[in-house]
Amino acid sequence: METSIWRALLYLVGLLAFAGVNAAWLGWCERKGAARIQRRIGPCEAGFAGLLQPIADGIKLMSKQLLVPQGVDGIIFRVAPILMMIPAITSMVAIPFSENIGARNLELSVLLLFALASLGMIAILLGGWASGNKYAIISAARSVSQNLAYEIPMLLTVITVVLMSGSLNLHDIAISQQGGFWHWNIFRVENGHFLTMWISFIIFFICSVAETNRAPFDMAEAESELVAGFMTEYGSMGFGLFMMGEYLNIVVGACLTATLFLGGWDCPFGLTPGIWWFLLKIYVLIFTFIWIRWTYPRTQIYRLLNLSWKILIPFSLANLMVTAALIKVF
Amino acid sequence: MSGYWSDIVTGGKSLVTGLAITAREFFRPVVTEQYPWEVPTMTPLFRGHTELIGNEETGEPNCVVCGMCQRACPSGCISLDGKKNESGKGKVLTRYILDFTKCSLCGSCVESCNFNALRFSREYNLASFDKNDFIMDLMHRLEEQNRCKR
Amino acid sequence: MNVPVHLRHDETFVLNLGPQHPATHGVLRVKLTMDGEYIVKAEPVLGYIHRMHEKLAEGGTFAQFMPNTARMDYLHALAFNHGWALVVEKAAGIEVPERAEYIRVITVELNRIASHLLWWAAFLLDLGGFTPLLYAFDDREQIIDLLERITGSRLTYCYMRFGGVYNDIDEEFIAGTRACIKRIRGRLPRLYHDLVTHNIILIKRIKDIGFITAEQCRRYGATGPVARGSGISYDIRKNEPYSVYPEFDFDVPVFDEGDSMARYMVRMHEIEQSMRIIEQALDKLPDGPVMGKAPKVLKPEAGYYYSAVETARGSLGYRLVCNGDKNPYKLKLRSPTFSNLSLFGEVAEGMLLADALAFMGSLDLVIPEIDR
């Protein structure tokens, strides 16, 4: 069954549909969520509650000319937005949506996901550099230093989870947390892990906000400083792909958080585990992303690096050592 | 080092407070008005472009062509002409052109008028692709209004 | 950022900030010479929205210039109205009824609150926070609705007249103003201070950034919240009182730090002080006419006249020269933002781009007022 062509095709179509729907309608969710927080209505004209707005936006973006300004590196300029989308969609292959739903059960899926997550940064770097715009280049340089700084604490906290589950396979990590919320990594009580795991969760969450270039860490896009950062020269679907890539990265980040810390598809009360619980968890996490974005002002690039190097990395290192010690002791 | 820990504690607390505030606002009612569907009430002093006031009975403009509004206007928007009144003394208005492209709605013309001949209209939906649409013939406008009244 | 930076002057590039840029809030252009993200040299370039208002004044009568005053600083238009009314009244020797002066103070202070709220909103937008903007606009909308009811306009007011004001205020306005003050007082601690002022991200972003010394303020002639944030206690309403300001009990908030946070705090406290002034003015509001006796055609005696008012951005001076004609012979404005912006080049040197923009936001620039 694992090798059947139908299975591969079905997952291909399913994952692409999942990615497409999320990339389009998360934009709608973001706008509605922001509007409610700001006590506005948000999109409301296109369809019921503005639900057709993403389609209207898509048609508008697609019907525009893909403008390649003079003096830019044409090939890289065109490739960069695609490069933003590919790793985000590919990551979905390794995500276990439920016990039986998951395209591939890879032994090293955690490693694969983090390798793919770093590729998004390269898309920003290439897009910014190829634009030949000063704002875009500043933005590209920022995004590289930001991603370097946040990958380290993120991986360090993931090691704590891996140490506890003894596996680099997301599916196995999720299975090790089945049977109610007290088994989830974030709330795990046995062996004194309640001391460390919630810290891991907070660090991981902060890092995933920074990794996906979301406010308050949207250094690369900082619209009041860098106009639109690496997207300054992009119009039409070039811009559209960057936007969709951003939302897909959020989805992948939320999936990872849910699997690593929140028990994957497990039900909090030990009943009816299944994909619905997984989806519920990731949308709650995504809403938190939106909620955070519309609450805080943007931080500064050196404050962001300070946060990573001076707070998150020491904390995650200490956390890792304590976890390892606890595992050894018990 | 003391600043380090206090920053983490107070900073973390301030971030949670921020989230709590926006969460509360999330569930409170909307404060915006959906403009084309809900029209806000206009204040009595609303300033649209000016218009002529017609006589209650005859509908003829109250204007006596004294030219005070023309002189008061800071931007030179107003041009008007009159002719000798055939039935008696004074003048009657024959032409009153407001160049609304230059008007800043200061209201000096309305204030300067001693004969109750000018007032602000309640027009606010003014949009056009043609600049000439805003060079307004107020005599024409008054005639239209009189016709509607009848 | 107080880390010493060794700037290399040989590997720099020029970054054009503006005239179209999201952070300049208007058509200001700043030519930045950059070394990476550090600013080596910053030169503000002005003149993109110069409309020669001072020259326009010579072409018309005194009253005809009144609408123009509101179009210079569109955020605190009533203070510009007030300054022009004061200088012409001084020149022509016109008496203003007491009630009219009270109404002037009430409307000017309401407008000052609206201006500070908009500054707060735009400043947070510069720092990347979008939500506070809409909360501030919600409050500002209440003030603008109140002012619209009595002045007839929402932004570019032409409300003051030589010898009084255009329109009297009524009970509904008084009740509305009291309710509005109560509402803003209720919202300030939570939606403004808890959400933003005490937020660690904002504190880290603007504290110890953009130091201006008192000496620099004096050298460049900076006034208003910029000077008061650098420890200079100078407010025309207190130091050279005009109108009926001496009759009110209010404080001039002064902070000694001189950083962007100090200027932020000065403005937040000024909102509270303005509310105090309005409340006292409403309590003491005398009866009487709102328009004094003023000749139809003003022909002030030849001479030099000067009058200054405190706007939301600093001290505004009208220098009027009359030659006995019904037109001003010459008018010169001393506008606060021009001096405040002049500081930018010196202070921004060695700053990071993002910090420089936060600093620029804290100066509260209104570009049409700089260029006039």
Taking phi over 0 as left and psi of -120 to 50 as alpha, with beta for the rest, B73 belongs to beta
Which CATH fold topology does C13-48+96-286+338-371 show? Cytochrome-c3 Hydrogenase; chain B (1.10.645)
C141 HSE (CA, 13 A, CB side): 10
C205/A222 Cβ within 8 A: no
Going from the C-alpha of A138 to that of each of A151, A297, B59, the distances in angstroms are: 20, 20, 68
Contact C335, C316 (CB under 8 A): yes
Partner residue opposite A138 with nearest CB, options C1, C37, C135? C37
Alpha carbon distance B103, C3 (integer Å)? 53
Give chain C positions within 8 Å (CB) of B120. Answer: 152
Burial letters C13-33, b for 16+ CB under 10 A, else e? eebebbbebbbbbbbbbbebb
- Check pLDDT > 60 for residue C4: no
Going from the C-alpha of C210 to that of each of A305, C82, C253, C256, C303, the distances in angstroms are: 21, 32, 19, 13, 42
Residue of C nearest to B72 (CA): C64
- For chain C, the domains span 13-48+96-286+338-371
> What does DSSP say about strands B91-99 and C303-311: parallel, antiparallel, or unpaired?
unpaired
pLDDT tens digits for range C135-191? 999 899 999 989 988 888 888 888 888 888 888 888 888 999 999 999 999 888 888
Chains touching chain B through at least 3 C-beta pairs below 8 angstroms are: A, C
Residue of B nearest to A315 (CA): B8
- In chain C, alpha helices (H): 53-59, 66-70, 77-92, 98-126, 131-151, 171-187, 200-206, 214-220, 224-228, 236-239, 260-284, 336-348, 353-362, 367-371
C124/A297 Cβ within 8 A: yes
Triad A49, B35, C146: Cα angle to 5°:
130
CB proximity C63 to B under 8 Å: yes
**Tokens representing residue A319 in the block:** 């956390």
Quickly state the pLDDT bin for A2 (edges 50, 70, 90). low
Give chain C positions within 8 Å (CB) of A214. Answer: none
- Residue scoring higher pLDDT (A191 or C357): C357
Largest CA distance in chain C: 70
Chain A stretch 93-122, residues whose beta carbon is closer than 8 A to a beta carbon of chain C: none
Q: Which domain holds residue A170?
A: 5-329
Give all strands of the β-sheet with C314-322 in edge-to-edge order: C303-311, C314-322, C330-334
pLDDT tens digits for range B102-120? 888 888 888 888 888 888 8
Q: What local confidence, expressed as pLDDT, does residue C7 receive? A: 56
A295/C138 Cβ within 8 A: no
| pTM, 2 dp | 0.88
Q: What local confidence, expressed as pLDDT, does residue C8 receive? A: 59
CB proximity A327 to B under 8 Å: no
Closest CA to C322 of C305, C339, C344: C305
- Check pLDDT > 50 for residue C194: yes
Sole residue written with tokens 């016709």: B147
A294/C202 Cβ within 8 A: no
Closest CA to C6 of C350, C361, C370, C360: C350
A294/C352 Cβ within 8 A: no
- Check pLDDT > 70 for residue C2: no
- Check pLDDT > 60 for residue A1: no
Q: Which of B141-150, C38-47, C297-306 has the lowest mean pLDDT?
A: B141-150
**Tokens representing residue B120 in the block:** 């602000």
Backbone angles phi, psi at A243, to 5 degrees: -65, -45
Q: What is the mean pLDDT of residues C256-274?
A: 90
- Check pLDDT > 70 for residue A314: yes
Distance from the Cα of C205 to chain A's closest Cα (Å) equals 7
ipTM exceeding 0.85, yes/no? no
Q: What local confidence, expressed as pLDDT, does residue A10 receive? A: 86
Which CATH fold topology does B50-149 show? Alpha-Beta Plaits (3.30.70)
Distance from the Cα of A201 to chain C's closest Cα (Å) equals 21
- Residue scoring higher pLDDT (C315 or C21): C315
Count of the separate structural domains present in chain A: 1
DSSP state string for C278-315: HHHHHHH---S-SB----SS--PPSEEEEEEEEETTEE
Chains touching chain C through at least 3 C-beta pairs below 8 angstroms are: A, B
Pick from A29, A31, A32, A37 the residue to mutate for testing the B interface (most B CBs within 10 Å).
A37
- In chain A, alpha helices (H): 5-37, 53-63, 74-91, 109-131, 134-165, 170-175, 197-211, 223-226, 236-261, 275-293, 301-306, 313-329
Give chain B positions within 8 Å (CB) of C201. Answer: 15
Helix, strand, or coil here: A328?
helix
CA Rg value for chain B: 27
With a pLDDT cut of 70, the percent of chain A lying above it is: 97
pLDDT tens digits for range C316-366? 999 999 888 888 898 998 888 888 888 888 888 888 888 888 888 888 888
Around Cβ A97, how many Cβ atoms within 10 Å?
Answer: 23
Partner residue opposite C67 with nearest CB, options B12, B106, B120? B106
Q: What local confidence, expressed as pLDDT, does residue A192 receive? A: 65
Q: What local confidence, expressed as pLDDT, does residue B1 receive? A: 56
Chain C stretch 294-333, residues whose beta carbon is closer than 8 A to a beta carbon of chain A: none
